Structure 1
Amino acid sequence: MIDHEEKKFFEKQGFGKEMGFGQRPAILVIDFINAFTNYQDSDMVLAANLEKQLIETNRLLDASRPLGIPVIYTTVSYDDNFKDTGIWSLKQSGLMTLRANTEAVKIDARLHSQEKDTLLTKKYASSFFGTDLTSRLTSQQVDTLIITGCTTSGCVRASVVDAVSYGFRPIVVEEAVGDRSVAAHNQSLFDIQAKYGDVVSVETVLSYFEEMKKKALSH
């Protein structure tokens, strides 16, 4: 857990201010693929128990549908020769389980996905690096990214840093992101809230959706 005195110090120094929601959100579901979520399969060496996070993500997806909010999923997959892992595979051998066109790299079937949703394939941590995510978002005038997925200390954090760098408001949903390490998860949420985006509850996002509905009905 983060020390209380550290939190007070950061607040005193001007960190952790609220960025807030914008006008046009999209939901970014990061790497909720079988390789990372199917922890009961011993072949999925990168997996963790993320069942609660999947449930909370579905709550957001279901609530977003009447509003027509874009939903984007990411997966990580590599060619058969794994040359597209670059030098990252020197750091973690588990990347070799992420072979293209296998069950491991498919989006977890428990998610309430729809055909109109977008799937992006990435090679590295950030959802922005080497993908056309920025173009997809700007073409739809998206200014806010509601972020769920895994892992908090890895691909979620990297995507948040890039999101704010490109001018999008990163909103990380606390109950809908997860990690293999509780300590890494907590530290990353603290770091994101302090410097890069807003860490909010599922209920806060659902309230934001309700406000969007009211505004739409009033016009």
Structure 2
Amino acid sequence: MNDTEEKIFFEKRGFGKNIGFGERPAILVVDFINAFTNYQNPEMVLSSNLEKQIYETNRLLDASRPLGIPVIYTTISYDDDLLDAGIWVLKQSGLETLRAETEAVKIDCSLHSQDNDSVMTKKYASSFFGTDLSSRLTSQQIDTLIITGCTTSGCVRASAVDAVSYGFRPIIVEEAVGDRSVAAHNQSLFDIQAKYGDVVSVETVLSYFERIKS
């Protein structure tokens, strides 16, 4: 089947319906850290060019500020002995570069961050696994998680799957997520839209912000 035939095939079987926005959103910026974004540094072996995705994320951050929408950044880092990396480090040797308190694991400074934003450290792909993200969102009565970051096929997808599993509405912003592989990026967006969350444009989210502002 070609792409159009696949889309029709899934739609006929009830996949890909929209969950929609809720009433209380938060923005989750997944792993826009130097190790993943500083593609000009050859030591950052996990990096790729994500300048466009960061630009689009900043558009959302700027628009969210007057509304007081919570912003949470994730980073991923490990102790020097890598014991907290488990067996995952056996699969990806690049994880060895993600050492705690190094420049590699700091949030990219080109993001429009503010002092009251949250930074959360995780150890594995999902932003929920082994963290207090779910309780943070629940305590603020958040029902909608607007997700940007990287990588689409890895930590973004895993976070979206867990978000819907915990009862949050995952909204993945297409222009604001990126991957090292175009094929993996596109397939993951298709998969998320089919089964786990809503893949929407930046403009759709900005329009949503305008609605809740009024």
Common fold: TM-score over 0.5: yes
Q: 3-state SS of the aligned residue for 2:129?
A: coil
The residue aligned with 1:35 is 35
- Confirm whether residue 187 of structure 1 aligns to residue 178 of structure 2: no
The residue aligned with 1:85 is 85
Q: How does 1:137-216 map to 2 (within 5 A)?
A: 137-214=137-214
1:163-213 Cα deviation digits (max 9, x unpaired)? 000000000000000000000000000000000000000000000000011
Q: 3-state SS of the aligned residue for 1:209?
A: helix
1:84-115 Cα deviation digits (max 9, x unpaired)? 11000110000000000000000000000001
Q: Which runs of 4+ in 1 moved over 4 A?
A: none
1:6-50 Cα deviation digits (max 9, x unpaired)? 010000000000110000000000000000000000000000000
Aligned length: 213
Tell me which amino acid in the other structure corresponds to 2:163: A
The residue aligned with 1:217 is none
Tell me which amino acid in the other structure corresponds to 1:23: E
Tell me which amino acid in the other structure corresponds to 1:38: N
Q: Tell me how far apart the structure 2 counterparts of residues 39 and 129 of structure 1 sit (CA, whole Å).
A: 27
Tell me which amino acid in the other structure corresponds to 1:136: R
- Confirm whether residue 19 of structure 1 aligns to residue 11 of structure 2: no
Deviation at 1:121, TM superposition (A): 0.1
Q: Tell me how far apart the structure 1 counterparts of residues 29 and 111 of structure 2 sit (CA, whole Å).
A: 10
1:35-92 Cα deviation digits (max 9, x unpaired)? 0000000000000000000000000000000000000000000001111110001100
Identity across the alignment (%): 83
Q: 3-state SS of the aligned residue for 1:29?
A: strand
Q: Tell me how far apart the structure 2 counterparts of residues 167 and 131 of structure 1 sit (CA, whole Å).
A: 16
Q: 3-state SS of the aligned residue for 2:96?
A: helix
Deviation at 1:3, TM superposition (A): 1.2
Q: Tell me how far apart the structure 1 counterparts of residues 180 and 54 of structure 2 sit (CA, whole Å).
A: 15
1:109-135 Cα deviation digits (max 9, x unpaired)? 000000100000000000000000001
The residue aligned with 1:46 is 46
Q: Tell me how far apart the structure 2 counterparts of residues 196 and 96 of structure 1 sit (CA, whole Å).
A: 31
- List gaps (5 residues or longer) in structure 2: none
- Confirm whether residue 7 of structure 1 aligns to residue 17 of structure 2: no
The residue aligned with 2:113 is 113
Tell me which amino acid in the other structure corresponds to 1:118: S
- List gaps (5 residues or longer) in structure 1: 215-219
Q: Tell me how far apart the structure 2 counterparts of residues 186 and 174 of structure 1 sit (CA, whole Å).
A: 10
